[in-house]
Amino acid sequence: MTKGTHWLRGVLTMRVCLAMGVLAISFQGAASETLAMIQVPREALRYQAEFRRIQGAGSPQSMEKLFNMGERVRKAFLSRRNRALLEAARVEAMTDPRAQTALDKLVENLTHRRPGYRIAQGAELFYDDADADVYLALAEQHGQEIDRDFFTRYQASFPRGESWPAHEEQQTDISSCTRYGSPEFVGHHARWQGFLTKHPRGFYADKARTYLANHFDVTRRCSCDSKAATLTGLETLELALQPGKLKDSVATEIRQRTGDPDNKAYYYRYDGRCQAG
């Protein structure tokens, strides 16, 4: 591809992106053409403006709209198309320092446009999560009571971002074990159920329901703890639940783990076989 053709492709890419309601980031002189095709939602600028508005306000402001916007931008940025492009750029960066520089520039640019979110490059994946510390600090200084209630719980459940809840221990970029025997495992449910009792409607409530729904995943077979500690944690959670599908699922999990004396279907870190099951 000639230099002129490369320039024309960049112009066309920018025009297409703008027509689709997204922002194109310029990579003049960048080693990777792939990154020029990353689509950044135009709403990222509106999010940035809303964050700065709340930050400069002299009276308590609602942050629910801000977090809603941030989550929409996050999901759009991590679309299947963008993930494929990011993966291609990451592979290129393994052998080309210029591509890594361009990749770092993209992350820096997006971080600047979206205060309160952080992008991390793993060995296999990119993570894009709300920063619990930043959001809680903003809520304490400029938010309303519901904002403080939400982000106090958020920081306790997701201190490293939603990719890795407090009751999950990362093993690889794509796998983790569950800390069934930890206070965080049972506390997660009580924390968000308590929020819903107090604030049953709105975007925060929808997120709380999602956190509860994702809390107990019967497909997770790897425990960070011993079998005894795992069963104790599950039994404690079962006692805390109201009758329903979730309580039934936990009871089934307890029976299945108890009925697996040789640990063939489930894994525990302390038996030396803990891995993605």
Q: Taking a C-beta distance cutoff of 8 angstroms, is the pair 200, 230 a contact?
A: no
Provide the phi-psi class of 161: left if phi over 0, else alpha when psi is between -120 and 50, else beta.
left
pLDDT at 126: 77
User: Is residue 99 domain-shared with residue 113, that is, in the same domain?
Assistant: yes
Q: pLDDT tens digits for 34-68?
A: 777 777 788 889 999 999 999 999 999 999 999 99
The domain total for the chain is 2
Task: Give the pLDDT mean for 70-96.
Answer: 87
Residue 202 CA to residue 167 CA, distance in Å, equals 26
Domain that holds residue 155: 42-162
Would you tell me the crossing angle of helices 64-77 and 203-215 to the nearest 10 degrees?
50
Q: Which residues contact 253 (CB under 8 A, 6 or more apart)?
A: 216, 218, 234
- Is 30 within the bounds of a domain? no
- Is 3 within the bounds of a domain? no
pLDDT at 10 over 50: no
User: Is residue 105 domain-shared with residue 212, that is, in the same domain?
Assistant: no
Q: Taking a C-beta distance cutoff of 8 angstroms, is the pair 127, 119 a contact?
A: yes
Task: Give the pLDDT mean for 229-252.
Answer: 92
Task: Choose the final residue of a domain: 112, 128, 162.
Answer: 162
Highest mean pLDDT among 17-31, 77-91, 153-167, 258-272: 153-167
| Lowest mean per-residue pLDDT among 82-86, 128-132, 153-157, 195-199 | 82-86
Task: Choose the final residue of a domain: 134, 162, 190.
Answer: 162
User: Is residue 277 domain-shared with residue 267, that is, in the same domain?
Assistant: yes
Q: Which residues contact 247 (CB under 8 A, 6 or more apart)?
A: 238, 241
- Is 169 within the bounds of a domain? yes
**88 compared with 4, residue with greater pLDDT:** 88
